[in-house]
């Protein structure tokens, strides 16, 4: 009896109305899902746009720093040569090197030591933006940012050497072993500056390929306000022309 009553109730249902209601509910769910996907996609695009702008801005700083290094590289080389010649020409006692000062520190060799930040790139990795990039661009950016730790390490090593070279402002006794150790330190700095010049040439190439470097005029205007450029110009030391510094060194 129970089964018969259940069958009777089912037969009494308006299946057309039920079907229409089911279709309406299904369409409502599908529309809601589509709207949610559209909203998520729009949010992802917006986030990607913000993140990539930060990466491009970060790379603009790298580009300007790289141009600075390439412009002043001959000046740094000239300073190191003068120090080496001073040590070699001195007798039993070193003829003291000049000590230069500004409002922040003092030094015997003036050279760039910029921080090539990668904060925006790390944020792009963290929020998944990197994975949504076109493969060739992703590879280019990965290669670019992969070089920065080497530059940072070389800059840090040169900073340590610069501090040690301040000893050359004193009348040091120069026996053969002391003279050798000083020359060796100077040559190590020279080798790192040569390496840094090459690496910064790579940076110029990377930014041109993957980013949007500032104009030549904008770049020059910024570099001319940096301390190393001002020092080299004030002391009449050689520098690379900007147009040559902006020629990329292909990877």
CA distance 203 to 191: 19
pTM above 0.85, yes or no: no
CB atoms inside a 10 Å sphere around CB 51: 21
The answer to the question of residue 193 being in a domain is: yes
**Cβ atoms of 182 and 87 closer than 8 Å:** yes
* Token couple for 1: 């009896």
The answer to the question of residue 1 being in a domain is: no
The answer to the question of residue 72 being in a domain is: yes
Residues in the chain: 251
* Token couple for 187: 């040559």
Domain carrying residue 191: 59-245
CA distance 236 to 103: 21
pLDDT in tens, 156-175: 999 999 989 999 999 999 99
**Cβ atoms of 196 and 155 closer than 8 Å:** yes
The answer to the question of residue 15 being in a domain is: no
The answer to the question of residue 8 being in a domain is: no
The answer to the question of residue 74 being in a domain is: yes
pLDDT in tens, 95-130: 999 999 887 788 999 999 899 999 999 999 999 998
The answer to the question of residue 38 being in a domain is: no
Cα dihedral across residues 140, 143, 147, 148: positive or negative: positive
pLDDT, mean over the chain: 87
The answer to the question of residue 135 being in a domain is: yes
Count the domains in the chain: 1
Torsion angle in degrees (nearest 10) through CA of 102, 77, 168, 96: -90
Better-predicted residue by pLDDT, 79 or 7 = 79
Mean pLDDT of 133-138: 90
Q: For residue 125, with 0-12 CB atoms within 10 Å meaning exposed, 13-18 middle and 19 or more buried, which class applies? A: middle
């Amino acid at each position: 009896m129970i089964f018969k009553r259940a069958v009777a109730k089912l037969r009494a249902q308006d299946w057309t109305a039920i079907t229409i209601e089911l279709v309406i509910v299904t369409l409502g769910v599908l529309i809601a899902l589509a709207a949610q996907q559209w909203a998520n996609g729009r949010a992802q695009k917006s986030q990607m746009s913000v993140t990539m702008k930060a990466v491009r801005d970060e790379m603009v700083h790298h580009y300007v720093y790289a141009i600075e290094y390439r412009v002043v590289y001959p000046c740094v080389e000239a300073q190191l040569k003068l120090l080496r010649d001073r040590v070699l020409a001195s007798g039993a006692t070193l003829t003291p090197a000049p000590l230069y000062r500004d409002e922040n520190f003092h030094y015997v060799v003036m050279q760039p030591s910029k921080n090539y930040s990668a904060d925006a790139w790390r944020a792009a990795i963290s929020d998944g933006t990197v994975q949504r990039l076109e493969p060739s661009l992703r590879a280019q950016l990965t290669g670019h940012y992969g070089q920065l730790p080497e530059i940072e390490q070389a800059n840090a090593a040169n900073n340590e050497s610069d501090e040690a070279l301040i000893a050359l402002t004193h009348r040091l006794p120069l026996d053969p072993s002391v003279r050798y150790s000083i020359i060796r330190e100077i040559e190590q700095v020279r080798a790192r500056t040569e390496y840094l010049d090459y690496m910064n040439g790579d940076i110029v190439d990377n930014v041109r390929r993957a980013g949007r470097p500032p104009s030549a005029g904008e770049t020059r205007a910024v570099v001319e306000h940096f301390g190393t450029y001002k020092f080299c110009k004030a002391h009449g030391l050689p520098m690379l022309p900007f147009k040559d510094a902006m020629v990329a060194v292909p990877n």
